[in-house]
Amino acid sequence: MHIVWRLVAFEFVAAFAAVTALIYLLDPLARKLGLLDHPGGRKDHAAPTPVTGGVAIAIGTILPALALVSPSLQLIGLGLAAVILVTIGVLDDLYDLPWPIRVLAQVAAALAIIYVGGVRVENIGAAFGLGHLALGWLSVPFSVVAVVGLINALNMADGIDGLCGSLALCALVMLMAASVYAGNLDLAHGMVVISGAVVAFLAFNLRTPWRKRAQVFLGNSGSAYLGLIIAWAAFRLTQNPLYPVTPVLAPFLVAPPVIDTLALIARRAMAGHSPFHADRTHVHHLMLDGGFTPTGVVLTLSALSLVLGGGAALALLADVPDPLFIAVYLALIVGWLALTRRHERAVALFKWLSRLTPARKAD
Write out pLDDT tens, residues 137-168: 999 999 999 999 999 999 999 989 999 999 99
Q: For residue 361, is it within any domain?
A: no
Q: What percentage of the chain reaches a pLDDT higher than 70?
A: 91
**What is the band of 12 on the pLDDT scale with cuts at 50, 70, 90?**
very high
Q: For residue 302, is it within any domain?
A: yes
Burial of 31-45, coded b for 16+ CB within 10 Å and e otherwise, reads: eeeebbbeeeeeeeb
Q: For residue 133, is it within any domain?
A: yes
By CB neighbour count within 10 A (0-12 exposed, 13-18 middle, 19+ buried), where does 171 fall?
buried
Q: For residue 254, is pLDDT > 60? A: yes
* Type of residue found at 208: T
Q: Distance between alpha carbon 73 and the CA centroid of its chain, in Å?
A: 24
Backbone angles phi, psi at 211, to 5 degrees: -145, 110
Q: Report the domain count for the chain.
A: 1
Q: How far is CA 188 from CA 12, 134, 184, 195, in A?
A: 12, 26, 6, 10
**What is the band of 243 on the pLDDT scale with cuts at 50, 70, 90?**
low
Q: For residue 362, is it within any domain?
A: no
**Helix/strand/coil for 298:** helix
Q: Distance between alpha carbon 215 and the CA centroid of its chain, in Å?
A: 20
Q: For residue 363, is it within any domain?
A: no
Range of the domain at 286: 2-354
Q: For residue 317, is it within any domain?
A: yes
Q: pLDDT higher for 278 or 54? A: 54
**What is the band of 46 on the pLDDT scale with cuts at 50, 70, 90?**
low
Q: For residue 274, is pLDDT > 80? A: no
Please compute the mean of the pLDDT values over residues 234-253 and round it to a whole number: 84
Nearest 10 degrees: Cα torsion 211, 215, 218, 221:
180
Please state whether the predicted TM-score (pTM) of the whole model is above 0.75: yes
Cα angle 325, 329, 232 (rounded to 5 degrees) comes to 85
Nearest to 325 by CA among 341, 308, 337: 308
Q: For residue 40, is it within any domain?
A: yes
Query: Which residues are CB-neighbours of 175 under 8 A, at least 6 positions away?
Result: 187, 191, 230, 233, 234, 237, 253
Q: For residue 360, is it within any domain?
A: no
Q: For residue 229, is pLDDT > 90? A: yes
